């Protein structure tokens, strides 16, 4: 039996079992903490050297979104999986933009990926448009495997900042080209097939589907899926194909654009991805785990942001539930791989979301100031409302929680560029 097969078998069973246990613990008895966190495992002996990084972004997820999800999914005395991580802090998010004080996802992710502030819309370039070194590139240079998983387009701003550089986040076909020809992530899973194929050349997902007739292939860089296959990637577009994919470089595109339809409640809003974020995360980990020198995996749940833009509380909570399942998968991996740093945060807050009492006398307003709900509190006869103040982003700090080597660095309050400072200590080091 090959070493790769032995490693795969050693990983698959404990992660599957631990992930299931983590989810069951969260749902049935959410007050229980983790039974095997990295710090606890390390306390029995010398702390392991940091080797891997799992970085999870709840796009648009501020503290209030986490609170709403905690009440709805775990109850008043419960905890989310992401809140059980032993270290916590806050990150500020403002960009370096002459026209804005509130960040977009591109500038925020660039701060994470490069350690430098930039303007909104920029993907890992400085304020003058010059390309910056990214954590994804540094990890590759150190001999580590790399991957990205998202329910957005795989070329959307947050994942793009770790693996590409462009002055305009809208150039998603150029970002895809850079993935295949320049940064070469080992695992690429998410939506956005439209950007990988030329206009008039639909792929696994038809052009102009009934649910959104604006979606259609629109790339200008040729058939990038074929180019990816020639470069050694296995291409998949369904849950079954993803499940059957063997080890090696993996490209999975599971939607024309995002893996959901982001609209106000009752207006065609759908959150039902072809493959769930937690399934993609598990597959990515089992693939990247084969790297002897470690790996960097970026995971993103985009639905929190997109549905908050539409002030759709029900779908935000649904997206948060899938994010929670993905964090449970990551925690299970860390429990059996104490050389792995896990970080969970958000790039910014979206919607000005506030959790409010269910009070019929309260003025609910209308439009973007309307109240949304009521939403049930798990294990209680009580409920709460979500009150929105905007359909855009806000400048509030975002929470960050972490486990594993260097996780204690995330206590206190820091600029979002601090993420790069900590992660680069692991990812820019050849072992």
Residue numbers belonging to the annotated binding site for Mg(2+): 59, 156, 158, 300
Candidate list 2, 88, 105, 383, residue with the active-site label: 105
CA distance 104 to 349: 10
DSSP string, 38-101: HHHHHTTSSPPPP-EEEEEEETT--HHHHHHHIIIII-TT---TGGGSSEEEEEE----BTTBS
Q: Which residues are annotated as a binding site for Zn(2+)?
A: 59, 305, 309, 347-348, 393
The interaxial angle of helices 3-28 and 277-288, nearest 10 deg, is 150
Helix (H, G, I), strand (E, B) or coil at 27: helix
148's tokens: 């990205």
CA separation for the pair 420, 408 (Å, rounded): 15
Relative to beta strand 234-236, strand 398-403 is unpaired
Residues in the chain: 431
173 to 98, 130, 255: CA distances (angstroms): 27, 19, 15
Give CA separation, 250 vs 122, 172, 185, 195, 420, in Å.
27, 19, 9, 17, 26
Which residues are within 8 A (CB) of 301 and not within 5 positions of it... i.e. 6 or more apart?
A: 56, 57, 58, 59, 61, 150, 151, 277, 319, 320, 322, 323, 326
Tokens, residue 362: 């309260």
With 0-12 CB in 10 A as exposed, 13-18 as middle and 19+ as buried, what is 357? exposed
User: Residue 130 corresponds to which tokens in the numbers above?
Assistant: 């010059």
Binding residues: 59, 156, 158, 300, 305, 309, 347-348, 393
Go through 274-298 and write b for each residue having 16 or more CB atoms within 10 A of its CB, e for each that does not. bbbbbbbbbbbbbbbbbbeebbbbb
Determine the Cα–Cα distance for residues 227 and 137; give it in Å rounded to an integer. Answer: 20
Residue pair 199/219 in contact (Cβ under 8 Å)? The answer is yes
Q: Let me know if 105 is a catalytic residue.
A: yes
What is the token pair recorded at 314? Answer: 């029900």
Q: Which residues are catalytic?
A: 105
């Amino acid at each position: 039996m090959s070493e790769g097969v032995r490693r795969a078998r050693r990983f698959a069973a404990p992660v599957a079992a631990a992930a299931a246990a983590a989810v069951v613990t969260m749902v049935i008895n959410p007050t229980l903490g983790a039974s095997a966190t990295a710090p606890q495992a390390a306390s029995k002996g010398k702390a392991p050297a940091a080797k891997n990084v799992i970085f999870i972004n709840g796009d648009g997820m501020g503290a209030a979104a986490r609170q709403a999800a905690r009440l709805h999914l775990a109850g008043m005395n419960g905890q989310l999986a992401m809140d059980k991580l032993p270290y916590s802090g806050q990150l500020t998010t403002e960009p370096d933009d002459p026209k804005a004080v509130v960040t977009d996802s591109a500038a925020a992710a660039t701060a994470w990926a490069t350690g430098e502030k930039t303007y909104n819309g920029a993907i890992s370039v400085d304020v003058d448009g010059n390309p910056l070194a990214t954590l994804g590139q540094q990890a590759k240079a150190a001999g580590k495997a790399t991957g990205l998983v998202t329910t957005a387009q795989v070329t959307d701003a947050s994942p793009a900042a770790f693996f590409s550089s462009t002055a305009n986040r809208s150039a998603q076909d150029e970002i895809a080209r850079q993935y295949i020809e320049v940064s070469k992530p080992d695992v690429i899973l998410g939506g956005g097939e439209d950007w990988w194929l030329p206009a008039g050349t639909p792929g696994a997902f038809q052009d102009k589907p009934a649910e959104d007739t604006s979606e259609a292939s629109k790339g200008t860089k040729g058939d990038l899926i074929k180019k990816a296959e020639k470069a050694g990637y296995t291409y998949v577009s369904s849950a079954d194909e993803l499940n059957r994919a063997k080890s090696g470089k993996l490209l999975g595109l599971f939607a024309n654009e995002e893996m959901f339809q982001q609209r106000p409640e009752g207006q065609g809003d759908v959150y039902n991805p072809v493959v769930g974020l937690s399934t993609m995360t598990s597959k990515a980990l089992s693939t990247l785990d084969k790297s002897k020198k470690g790996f960097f995996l970026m995971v993103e749940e985009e639905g929190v942001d997109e549905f908050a833009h539409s002030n759709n509380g029900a779908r935000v909570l649904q997206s948060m539930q899938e994010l929670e399942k993905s964090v449970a998968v990551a925690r299970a991996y860390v429990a059996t791989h104490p050389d792995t740093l896990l970080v969970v945060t958000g790039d910014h807050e979206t919607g000005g979301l506030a959790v409010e009492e269910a009070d019929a006398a309260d003025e609910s307003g209308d439009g973007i100031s309307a109240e949304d709900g009521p939403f049930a509190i798990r294990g209680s006869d009580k409920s709460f409302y979500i009150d929105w103040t905007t359909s855009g982003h806000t400048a509030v700090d975002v929470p960050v929680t972490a486990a594993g080597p260097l996780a204690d660095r995330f206590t206190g309050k820091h600029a979002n560029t601090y993420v790069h400072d900590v992660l680069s200590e692991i990812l820019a080091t050849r072992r």
